[in-house]
Structure 1
Amino acid sequence: MNPHRVQLLVSIRNRDEVLPALNGGCDILDLKEPLNGALGMVDEEILHSISDYFFEQPVNVPLSLALGELVEQKEKHITPTIPSEVTYLKMGLSETKQSDHWYSDWLNCRQRIEVTNQATFQWIAVAYADWKQARSIPPEYVLAAAIKSRCAGLLIDTYHKQGQSLLNCMCLEEIQRLVDRAQKYNLKIALAGSITSDHLESLSDISPDIIGIRGAACVGSQRTNQVQKLAVKTFRKELDRQYTFMESG
């Protein structure tokens, strides 16, 4: 066990899932559409709906937004309008393995989004544990790029969501090395990838800042189902138990 408080990120797909996630005990809301892939971006209507919700009912937790994959953003002719409530942005690097200029493409895309929105965001680099299947850049290269480009953090996730979790794709020693190096450079480190409460004991000797869930937060543990308060609360309880978090004082 590793006694420190790990933040819980819950991925939501619409405004109806905000309250179940918050009331279940999440610390970060992450907006994405699971039907659109690992980091599927929601459509513009949902984005505006969430923005309106936050305006009407201010929420005291950060909001993260998934932008899909870099290759998808490059193909778009319209730069997305990002609500002012969003703190963190992230996009995946699948299908970049054969590219000699993925890093400059990544930086240019980030810059274009910030210039268009006249805002500065905290960027989270995404390393896929199943990077070979995703035809992505190896995780250690992504981390090096995150450090070089002053990202706020690194997310280690899985690209494929059918039947394999983070621990099926990457051993604990590999995860620990990435976590240690990221934290050495003051990057927040988040772990995700079909993580369930059953995985938490194995992960409890590692010290991530954040653990992200979607399937484990949903009815029947199905990532395309609705987020459920009880599911989030159950995961939160086990997360705190495994990391033996105790308030000081």
Structure 2
Amino acid sequence: MPTNAPCDEPVAAPEARPEKSKPQWLVSVRNLAEAELAVRFGVDILDLKEPRRGPLAPVSAEVWHQVADLVARPPSHRDGGPQSSAAVFSAAQLSAAQLSAALGESAQAVALADRVPPRFAFAKAGPSGCESESQLRGLWDAVRERMPAEVELVAVAYADHRAAGCMEAERIMALAAQGGFRRVLLDTFEKNGCSAIEVLGQTRLSQLGRLAHRQHLWWSLAGSITLGHVQRVAELVPERDDRPDCYAVRGAVCDGDRTGALCEAKMRQWQRTLR
């Protein structure tokens, strides 16, 4: 079934998900230099966004295309040329890196959807202001209609949904499954250092993981997630199949807070833990 099908079309029953292996690693990057660093560390998903302007603030379309060109670059072009001399990647590193575009919230996401390069695997639209199911379905349909067919829309749910003026995460996750989504990002709207785990609590986090598993949804946990949270995942979410499929980070791998530059030493710590 095409991932960009409207929400009200019939949805085929999802295939059973395989048993979970190691989780994927998503790092938010704001420019080409950060994208090159993320590729060197074997990051699975490079999420293009501007952390100084909100949870899902987009970077410029120029940066989208620069990074799309990076991961599409053939091996013969990896030495010299427009690429920085310090960035030399293996074919495996380049081919493994998937790109994701943060489109912003609601109306902004719709306006930018048709500018996402087809080379991107994913895009995300924030649900802030969508207080009803019809509003959220309308947002998803509008983005899907404008976005390249090759790009998969990822549903976003906010742990602090009241701050975002949207529905709670459980309702969004269930609606996403009904609408044919395969992936959901659980994040925080306010970036004040309080993690999604602290906002939700351990019990509710486990329940959301169970809901994702039952609905055959791949889910990524974001929102001030630390290495300590990852190392305690067996305690936080006891059932293996309910644990996150991916950890999405920014501030945890930066110098200072999430608005700082990526820190190689912190990236190396995360790489060792997740690999």
Query: Which stretch of structure 1 is more off in the superposition, 21-30 or 146-155?
Result: 21-30
1:27 shift after superposition: 1.5
The match for 2:270 among 235, 238, 242 is 235
Q: Gaps spanning 5+ residues in structure 1: where? A: 241-249
Rounded Cα–Cα distance in structure 1 between residues aligned with 2:33 and 2:221: 25
1:95 shift after superposition: 1.6
- Computed over aligned residues only, the root mean square deviation of the Cα atoms, in angstroms, reads 2.0
Q: Gaps spanning 5+ residues in structure 2: where? A: 1-19, 75-90, 238-242
* Paired position in structure 1 for 2:209: 179
3-state secondary structure, aligned to 2:59: coil
- Note if 1:12 corresponds to 2:29: yes
- Greater RCO structure (CA 8 Å; 6+ sep): 1
* Paired position in structure 2 for 1:89: 123
* Paired position in structure 1 for 2:73: 56
Rounded Cα–Cα distance in structure 2 between residues aligned with 1:80 and 1:33: 19
Question: Rg: which structure is higher?
Answer: 2
Equivalent pair of 2:27/2:248 in contact (CA under 8 Å): yes
* Paired position in structure 1 for 2:199: 169
Equivalent pair of 1:30/1:65 in contact (CA under 8 Å): yes
1:109 shift after superposition: 1.5
1:79 shift after superposition: 4.6
TM-score of the superposition, structure 2-length normalised?
0.77
- Note if 1:73 corresponds to 2:109: yes
Quote the sequence identity (%).
31
Structure 2 counterpart of 1:183, which letter? Answer: H
Structure 1 residue runs of 4 or more that deviate by more than 4 Å after TM superposition: none
Rounded Cα–Cα distance in structure 1 between residues aligned with 2:43 and 2:123: 18
Rounded Cα–Cα distance in structure 1 between residues aligned with 2:138 and 2:224: 29
Compared CA separation, residues 63 and 79, structure 1 to 2 (3 A): closer
The match for 2:165 among 120, 128, 135 is 135
- Note if 1:208 corresponds to 2:225: no
Rounded Cα–Cα distance in structure 1 between residues aligned with 2:156 and 2:249: 15
* Paired position in structure 2 for 1:219: 255
3-state secondary structure, aligned to 2:115: coil
Query: Which stretch of structure 1 is more off in the superposition, 191-200 or 79-88?
Result: 79-88
The match for 2:154 among 114, 124, 140 is 124
1:100 shift after superposition: 6.2
Rounded Cα–Cα distance in structure 2 between residues aligned with 1:230 and 1:133: 33
3-state secondary structure, aligned to 2:58: coil
Equivalent pair of 2:197/2:205 in contact (CA under 8 Å): no
Rounded Cα–Cα distance in structure 2 between residues aligned with 1:135 and 1:42: 24
1:40 shift after superposition: 0.9
